[in-house]
Amino acid sequence: MHRARRFLSTITMERVATTGKTTSVANKLKVGPLKKLYKYMTPEAISLAGGLPMDTCFPFKSIDVNLEGGEHFHLENSKTLLMNYTRGDGIAPLKTWVTEHVKQLHNPREGTESCVTVGSSDAWAKILQLVDTEAIMYDNFAYGTAINIAEVMGKKSIGVPFDEHGMIPEQLRQSVQEARAKGITVNLIYMIPVGQNPVGITMPTERKEELYRVCQELDLLIAEDGTQLAIQLVVAVVGSVFLLRVLPLCCRCLLLPTLQPRRCR
């Protein structure tokens, strides 16, 4: 199994139909009393609630970033250089940028939300904590780290045969039905439809549509690792399951796009 490094990832969620699919941990989650105060925060506000150190306590005054192509960025402490504690769902300006980026690239349904994480592996672990499933469906050859994280958290791995177009829909249906017949709870499928790791397959639109229909039929949530979407920008417009618009979709996709220190040429 191939391993790949991640830089920064998000979970972009439609209003996912999760009735009966959430763990006891997810059901107990609620907004903490301090985080309820975020709505009152302004750039001029001085917070005494979160134990935030003064900006003068940080050793960095400014950072200059020079990119290939001549672009230059000057970041100053407490202005554009943010080093202090922030919201749990990500630095507010960054989350706003991510949300707008997703809207421009994916044109998601109204109500879609994003949460900034430290990488797709972290995002995947968060999903596993929230979705109630004993087993996860993968391609027969799948990203090793995704499997390892799930198995450490007690999840069974079920491989599904694939061909040159990706996971075979009928094989997915059969594998899920066989697992459920054995009393195994299966509510989640993990896939990388663009630049699949380690095989490298990018699914054609027809195959993604077929798989989505099977997921609707079997009531499976889809965790789509979108690591290569920003790199393979040419195919990203048609590559993501998250982008499908020709089906009567019922909000079951969780997209894990990754922001990496690379640029497309």
Task: Give whichever of 32-46, 50-64, 108-122, 162-176 has the largest mean pLDDT.
Answer: 162-176
pTM of the full predicted structure? 0.79
Task: Give whichever of 106-115, 182-191, 207-216, 224-233 has the largest mean pLDDT.
Answer: 182-191
- 16 pLDDT tier (thresholds 50, 70, 90): low
**Which among 55, 122, 42 has a CA at the least distance from the CA of 88?**
122
**Which among 150, 152, 130, 154 has a CA at the least distance from the CA of 190?**
150
Q: Which CATH number fits domain 17-29+120-259: 3.40.50.1100, 3.40.640.10, 2.40.70.10, 3.90.870.10?
A: 3.40.640.10
Joined tokens for residue 105: 């690239």
Joined tokens for residue 133: 């499933």
What is the rounded average pLDDT of the residues 177-192? 97
The pLDDT score that the predictor gives to residue 36 is 77
For residue 234, the 8-state DSSP code is H
- 177 pLDDT tier (thresholds 50, 70, 90): very high
For residue 125, the 8-state DSSP code is H
